[in-house]
Structure 1
Amino acid sequence: MSDARLFETLGLTEYEATALAELLALGRTTAPNLAEATGIPKARIYGVLDSLADQGYLEVIPGRPKEYVPKSPEEILDRAKENRRQAFESFTQELEEEREGFLAEFQPRYESATGDARPAEELFHVVDVGDPSEAETRRLYHEAEEAVYVITKSLEYLEAVEPALADALDRGVHVRVLFYHPNLLDDTERRIQREILTRLETDHPEVELRFATGTSPWRGTFADPSEDYTDGEAIFLVEEPDVPNHMRQAALTENGSFVAGFKRYFDLVWTHESVQSR
Structure 2
Amino acid sequence: MADPSDVFDLLGLTEYETTALEELLSLGRTTAPNLASATGIPKARIYGVLDALADRGFVKVVPGRPKEYQPKAPEDILDRAVENRRQSFEGFTQEIDANREAFLSEYRPRYERANEDISPTAELFHVVDVGGPSERETRRLYRDAGETLRIITNSFAYLDSVAGALEDALAAGADVAVLFLHPDRLPPEKAAVQADVVERLRREFTAVEFRFSDQKLPWRGTVVDPSMDYDGGEAILLVEEPDVPNHMRQAALTDNGSFVAGMQRYFDLVWEYESQASGDVYT
Global fold match (TM > 0.5): yes
Counterpart secondary structure, 1:127: strand
1:188 counterpart letter in structure 2: E
Equivalent position of 2:25 in the other structure: 31
Looking at structure 2, the residues matched to 31 and 160 of structure 1 have their Cα atoms a distance apart, in angstroms, of 38
Q: Which whole-Å deviations, capped at 9, do the CAs of 1:32-87 have from their partners, x for residues lacking one?
A: 29xxxxxx99999xx99xx9x9xxxxxxxxxx9976579xxxxxxxxx9xxx9999
Equivalent position of 1:227 in the other structure: 228
> Percent identity of the aligned residues?
51
Equivalent position of 2:120 in the other structure: 120
The question of 1:236 aligning with 2:237 is answered yes
After TM superposition, list the pairs within 5 Å mapping 1:147-166 onto structure 2. Answer: 147-166=148-167
Matched length: 240
Larger Rg: 2
Counterpart secondary structure, 1:240: coil
Looking at structure 1, the residues matched to 95 and 205 of structure 2 have their Cα atoms a distance apart, in angstroms, of 38
Unaligned runs of 5+ in 1: 16-29, 34-39, 54-63, 71-79
The question of 1:270 aligning with 2:264 is answered no
Counterpart secondary structure, 1:257: helix
Equivalent position of 1:73 in the other structure: none
After TM superposition, list the pairs within 5 Å mapping 1:199-238 onto structure 2. Answer: 199-238=200-239
2:243 counterpart letter in structure 1: D
CA RMSD of aligned residues (A): 4.4
Measured at CA, do residues 140 and 88 of structure 1 come closer, stay the same or move farther in structure 2, by a change above 3 Å?
Answer: farther
Looking at structure 1, the residues matched to 96 and 250 of structure 2 have their Cα atoms a distance apart, in angstroms, of 32
Which segment drifts farther, 242-251 or 189-198?
242-251
Counterpart secondary structure, 2:232: coil
Looking at structure 2, the residues matched to 159 and 195 of structure 1 have their Cα atoms a distance apart, in angstroms, of 12
Looking at structure 2, the residues matched to 268 and 259 of structure 1 have their Cα atoms a distance apart, in angstroms, of 14
After TM superposition, list the pairs within 5 Å mapping 1:30-109 onto structure 2. Answer: 31-32=25-26, 68=74, 99-109=100-110
TM-score (normalised: structure 1): 0.67
